[in-house]
Amino acid sequence: MITLENVTKIYPDSTNNVNALNGVNLHIKKGEFVFIVGDSGSGKSTLIKLLMRELKPTSGDITVMGYNLGKITHGKIPKFRRNIGIVFQDFRLLPDRNVYDNVAFAQHIIQVPGRIIRRNVQRILATVGLAGKYRSKVTQLSGGEQQRVALARALVNKPAILLADEPTGNLDPNTSWEIMKLLDKINAAGTTVVMVTHNREIVNEMQKRVITMKKGVIIDDAEKGVYIDEEY
């Protein structure tokens, strides 16, 4: 489902001599749950941006859902992106809109008919535990609720892959666990999940595959792994 072969990324305006990614090889199968961990600056966000084709690799091959992301034409990027849902640490919701509109927005973009949008949005809000909140303004919700809205928006188009870039980074421990359990449920229902995190407790408890990065290189890739200390 996701394959990286000898992928290197050098930012054009890079002032240091460190490659953001340096010869990365990686294979993620359909239905996997993968944590990506590592120090700040180790290349985690760069990896996520490459997977969603926000960036192109400097060299090497990236294939996601059968699309070769180094070669894909601009016209095909929107169709490719329908396969990918993404959530961020800072939620990135439309602040002046209510919960329903924030989620429906993703369906409008792909021109789903209105009647079907209403059904799909209600269904996904129930999945993330927000069925009763669809009229609330997102700015009046707690952080955990806002992240649930962001998850609903990421999932409403039924992507095969969910990319989560530090989704619990702004949340307290209890709320982080609630979001983690939701991500686990989404994964159990068939979505492949790739989650960047610094949350040691979650990584150690969940017993999932853990990929550890350092200075643009994968230094460890373990099934049922743990969070490896920075001194490693």
Closest CA to 196 of 213, 181, 182, 179: 213
Q: Which of 7, 20, 125, 130 binds ligand ADP (CB under 6 A)?
A: 20
By CB under 6 A, is residue 225 in contact with ligand ADP? Answer: no
Q: According to the 3-state scheme, what is the secondary structure of 30-50? A: CCCEEEEEECCCCCHHHHHHH
| Residue 42 vs 187, nearer CB to ligand ADP | 42
By CB under 6 A, is residue 57 in contact with ligand ADP? Answer: no
Q: x/- contact string, 168-207, with ligand ADP (CB under 6 A)?
A: ----------------------------------------
Q: Which of 28, 44, 86, 182 binds ligand ADP (CB under 6 A)?
A: 44
Burial of 232: CB neighbours in 10 Å, binned 0-12, 13-18, 19+ = exposed
For residues 94 and 102, is the Cβ–Cβ distance under 8 A?
yes
By CB under 6 A, is residue 219 in contact with ligand ADP? Answer: no
The tokens for 66 are 């059968």
| Residue 19 vs 191, nearer CB to ligand ADP | 19
Closest CA to 148 of 179, 169, 194, 117: 179
Non-local CB neighbours of 78 within 8 Å, separated by 6+ positions: none
Instruction: Say which amino acid occupies 141.
Output: L
Q: Which of 7, 43, 88, 107 binds ligand ADP (CB under 6 A)?
A: 43
By CB under 6 A, is residue 18 in contact with ligand ADP? Answer: yes
Residue ranges in contact with ligand ADP by CB under 6 A: 11, 13-14, 18, 20, 38, 40-46
